[in-house]
Amino acid sequence: MAAVSAWRGARARVDYAVATLLGRPRACVLDRLFAAYPDFYHMRDYGDERMDAIAEVIRREVGDCASLGDVSVYEGYALGRVADRLGVANLSGCDLSEVALDRARGALSGSFAAFDLTRLYDDPAIGLPIPRPDVLLVCECLYYVGPLANHAWSQSWIFRSRKLGFIAALRRHARKAVIFQHFGSRQKDAIGELVVAAGGRKVEDRWGIWLLPATA
């Protein structure tokens, strides 16, 4: 039995590595990986400084925030920690993985829905399947979205107008602001440059946080 689950875990890792190398992982690949390895990304091991920084930016730059949404809510860890710091109880989130979403539902109360962000990238008019929050979090996920995924989000000029259309769709879904946070050195500047082109600004360097005010 242990050998079977070890083999399944190893297979899930290989499938994920291949999918990421060739483009981006599909829902079934992530579901198998997350089922085998809870908190596969070791988000808890990074500690809470990232969430402290995001909460501080919202407090300082946005002010009152009554609702928070997260477009890649994963197991709910980042959303829950930011919400705790701001005292926000109205939460929502979506994610490609049902396995991750089930863990988020177990950890937090709110509105959670399965959704592939690439659908919004392909058709910015469809919107997101969650209520419109004051602040929408877009953290550590864009490199999984759209054609060429990580490669495209590491260079701002690749598919620039499509990425700007997608960013505009995210912006329409926020009442007050969208927070973009990606700390990988190549992605953070390329994504940040697009957020600035869309009308946003850099608000924190260490974790790579850019703020895009909602459309007036």
Ligand X SMILES: C[S@@+](CC[C@H](N)C(=O)[O-])C[C@H]1O[C@@H](n2cnc3c(N)ncnc32)[C@H](O)[C@@H]1O
Chain residues binding ligand X by CB under 6 A are: 30, 41, 43, 72, 74, 77-78, 95-97, 100, 116-118, 139-141, 144-145
Q: Which residues of 104-134 are buried (b: 16+ CB within 10 A; e: fewer)?
A: bbeebebbbeebbbbebbeebeeebebeebb
CB of 98 to ligand X, least distance (A): 10
SS3 201: strand
DSSP letter string over 135-163?
Answer: EEEEES-GGGSSTTHHHHHTSTTTTHHHH
Q: Give how far the C-alpha of residue 12 lies from the chain's centroid of Cα atoms, to the nearest Å.
A: 22
Rounded (10°) angle between helices 2-22 and 27-36 = 140
CB of 68 to ligand X, least distance (A): 12
95 or 134: CB nearest ligand X: 95
Closest CA to 24 of 152, 131, 110: 152
41 or 159: CB nearest ligand X: 41
CB of 144 to ligand X, least distance (A): 3
CB of 5 to ligand X, least distance (A): 21
103 or 171: CB nearest ligand X: 103
Residues linked to residue 69 through DSSP beta bridges, in sequence order: 92, 136
3 or 142: CB nearest ligand X: 142
2 or 20: CB nearest ligand X: 20
CB of 104 to ligand X, least distance (A): 9
